[in-house]
Structure 1
Amino acid sequence: MPADPYFVDVAVRWSDMDAYGHVNNVAFVRLLEDARVYALRDWFGQDRDLIDDGLLVVRQEIDYLAPLTFDYRPARITMGCSRISGASFDIGYAVGRPEGDVTYAVAEVTLVAYDLQRSTPRRLTETERAQLCAIAGDPAPLRSRGTRAPR
């Protein structure tokens, strides 16, 4: 994550819990998506962002580290750009609470810039690349990489 990590606080809903009493894996994807929508608007401006221009999720990976349950505190989603290529980039996430005492999950998503008119991927612009570089951070410490996130 960047030196001054970017974060979004996202409400955990009662309905996000499953029969086991913790936030369901599908609800985790929604939490990440909610945080990403706010982040992209903050990173790219209020007038138009990458979502408006076209952006596809092409890969998601989540390591669940501890059960996240409902309470009135939001989930704090800390995030940064961990890789940039010609048409795609990765965002790494850590899911915790504002107190920061537990990491419940780490995740990474690969996004592709997409031309909605032509229905095809497009290259990132120099402006987009510069903005992504400004929020650059380390890759998420995923098990598939042989790394472990702190709990």
Structure 2
Amino acid sequence: MDHPTPWLDDDQQALWQDLLTVIIALPAALDRQLQRDAGISNFEYGVLARLSMADEVTMRLSDLARDCDSTLPRLSKLMDRFEARDWVVRRPDPANGRYTLATLTDAGRQKLVESAPEHVAQVKRLVFDPLSAAQRRQLGAAVSRVAATVRRELEGA
């Protein structure tokens, strides 16, 4: 039996279109800024940042790929480029040799430090400055709920 499609109402459609703009256009705007000012992509910046926040600036590549929403082959190619620039060092995980660890080097940390000021300013300009403190809190609560739902969906896949 055919069931009619439960279309989004006007308010939902407007919100969905705005959310799509943020999902699609915000990373592109951040990428342009980072390419222009630092010569790296938003993805590359994200990988450097994740490593910099890890204990001992070291992570398993599989965990780093998951946290950066990447595949292992894509991340491995990036690690090749990062190693050539002396931004990371890879080595087998001594706790389990089936895994590879990536460690951020001093040169990698320096690249992140040099790239951060303009990037942080762009994030503030595009995301935080247009909002009041109350709106930031509301957005944070809403995005956290949506993110939790998406994570549960992905874990169940």
TM-score between the two structures when normalised by the length of structure 1: 0.32
TM-score between the two structures when normalised by the length of structure 2: 0.31
In terms of fraction of residues, the more helix-rich structure is: 2
In terms of fraction of residues, the more strand-rich structure is: 1
Q: Which has the larger radius of gyration?
A: 2
